[in-house]
Amino acid sequence: MSTPNTALRAAEPGAPLPADAVPALPGAPHFAYRGGRLMADEVPLEDVAEAAGTPVFVYSRQAVLDAAEAYRTALAELPATICYAMKANGNGALLRSLATAGLGVDVVSAGEMKLALRAGFPASRIVFSGVGKTAAEIGEALDAGIAHLNVESEAELEAVAQVAAQRGKVAHILLRVNPDVAAATHEKIATGHKATKFGIALEHAPALYARAAADPWLEPIGIAAHIGSQIIDMSPYRTAFGRMAELVDALRGQGLTVTQVDLGGGIGIRYRDEPLPDLAAYGAIVREIFGHRDVEILIEPGRSLVGNAGVLLTRVIYVKKSGGKTFVVVDAAMNDLIRPTLYDAWHEIVPVHPAPGAPVVPVDVVGPVCETGDYLARNREMPEPVAGSLLAVMSAGAYAAVMASSYNARPLAPEVLVDGGRHAVVRRRPTMDEMTALEAVPDWLAPAPPQGDR
Ligand SMILES: Cc1ncc(COP(=O)(O)O)c(C=O)c1O
Ligand SMILES: N[C@@H](CCCC[NH3+])C(=O)O
């Protein structure tokens, strides 16, 4: 498949972009070129940059809703609830959009739980996952009436039992099992093989489930698994779900009640030239394995709902030639998008205003942060941008703004939501005062020297 950059390269100097060079961007059709400029739905990205400054994350509300609809279609007629894994993107306006669309949500901390409740997700559609829930968090979840508490270890089961008894509230739990499946993905985001910290070994699950069923303060309702993230080939799901189904049958064979299976998330997106994940095939696997088993199904997609619904818009500060290389220094950096540095991730980077005829050269797209690892792309063939121009870093809707930091005292990039032809800042850039608002200088420190003496 031709990537956007190679497609752009096909243009002759000075000639308008040929029709077949209009790049098939990840994020299409919601992010697409029209009239020689990159649009988010009906909004030119240059307008967003003008209104909110750069760097800025831009999300298409319709892209998220379409992605949710694609899951609904794939799972049609199954008793399935889509619980968006909000760790991928916890922006309140996006959450509100998904809550209004009737989705559930998967949370991994009391903080996420509170954001989910605030966004309007009912407690009955909240799954509380996570390997290290504290007693305080378990208590908050019980108080909020969370309907699905996913338990990841024997120690956690004991903690839940204790907190539930203390509060006099029955905890509805699912045991997260580790199906020991190796999915082809980056090692830092694989979770379903037994060497990871996640889940309970399949062979230990029956005894723990029975232990829970015997506890008056625990009501085990099902089992959960999540095998990893950015999974493109659906076959590991078949293996994992098959093992889960065997466990469901075994538990029922012991006279235990199982009404729910939580199949986790993990379906990948196209960042570069990956095949598009086959949601229909996924749906068929779920149907084949669980369709006749009389269980309610939960799924927890994160990235596949929001990843290609967002871009990071950035402006070129300088083009620097040094050491035989071309560095495109932009105003976004690793603190805004850490995925390239952390996972060697590829994010497509394209001009907002393609300049046909611009020489295509290998460049490093780097930020202003003082780290050698501060890059968004390395040795990337792209039309050489000019200082002041806008670039869009694609596929930045998932695990981007949520993983950002203020390293180098850089303010968190704002977030803008596009809805058709309108757009709004849904999280603004913090001021310097806001960034330091939590700091305190103890009174035993000498006062700051007067400005003139510094
Ligand atoms: C328990 C759980 N559910 C769901 C997800 C969402 O994964 P993804 O964004 O790959 O769909 C994750 C993250 O990998 C997770 O840990
Ligand atoms: N943060 C990872 C995904 C982690 C999945 C969370 N369980 C990424 O950016 O790809």
Read off the pLDDT of each residue in 254-275 and give the average, rounded to a whole number: 96
Q: How confident is the model at residue 193 (pLDDT cuts 50, 70, 90)?
A: low
pLDDT at 407 over 70: yes
Predicted local distance difference test score (pLDDT) of residue 453? 59
* 30, 309 contact by CB (below 8 A): yes
More confident residue, 331 or 454: 331
Sign (positive/negative) of CA torsion 243, 247, 248, 250? Answer: positive
Q: Is the CB of 265 under 6 A from ligand 1?
A: yes
CA distance 31 to 48: 13
Predicted local distance difference test score (pLDDT) of residue 197? 76
Contacts 24+ apart (CB under 8 A), 356-360: 356/8, 356/11, 356/12, 356/13, 356/14, 356/15, 356/16, 356/17, 357/11, 357/12, 357/13, 357/14, 357/15, 358/383, 358/384, 358/385, 359/383, 359/384, 360/5, 360/8, 360/9, 360/384
Cα(343) to ligand 2 centroid in Å equals 9
* Residue 405, SS3 per DSSP: coil
Active-site residue identified among 195, 214, 370, 432: 370
Best residue among 64, 81, 106, 107 to mutate for probing ligand 1's pocket (most ligand atoms within 8 Å of CB) is 106
Portions of the chain given CATH number 3.20.20.10? 61-304
For the CA of 304, the closest atom of ligand 1 is 11
pLDDT at 454 over 60: no
* 418, 60 contact by CB (below 8 A): yes
CATH topology of domain 4-60+307-435: Lyase, Ornithine Decarboxylase; Chain A, domain 1 (2.40.37)
- DSSP code for 213: H
Which tokens hold the place of 358? 């611009």
Read off the pLDDT of each residue in 409-420 and give the average, rounded to a whole number: 98
Q: Is the CB of 300 under 6 A from ligand 1?
A: yes
Nearest CA to ligand 2 atom 1: 399
Cα(189) to ligand 2 centroid in Å equals 6
Which tokens hold the place of 18? 């040929």
* 46, 392 contact by CB (below 8 A): no
pLDDT at 2 over 50: no
Ligand lying nearest the CA atom of residue 347: 2
Cα(303) to ligand 1 centroid in Å equals 8
Q: Which of 176-180, 195-199, 266-270, 412-416 has the lowest mean pLDDT?
A: 195-199
**Does domain 61-304 sit in CATH 3.20.20.10?**
yes
Predicted local distance difference test score (pLDDT) of residue 192? 62
Read off the pLDDT of each residue in 244-271 and give the average, rounded to a whole number: 98
CA distance 395 to 346: 9
Portions of the chain given CATH number 2.40.37.10? 4-60+307-435
pLDDT cut 70: percent of the chain above it: 92
Kindly provide the ipTM of the predicted complex, given to two decimals. 0.98
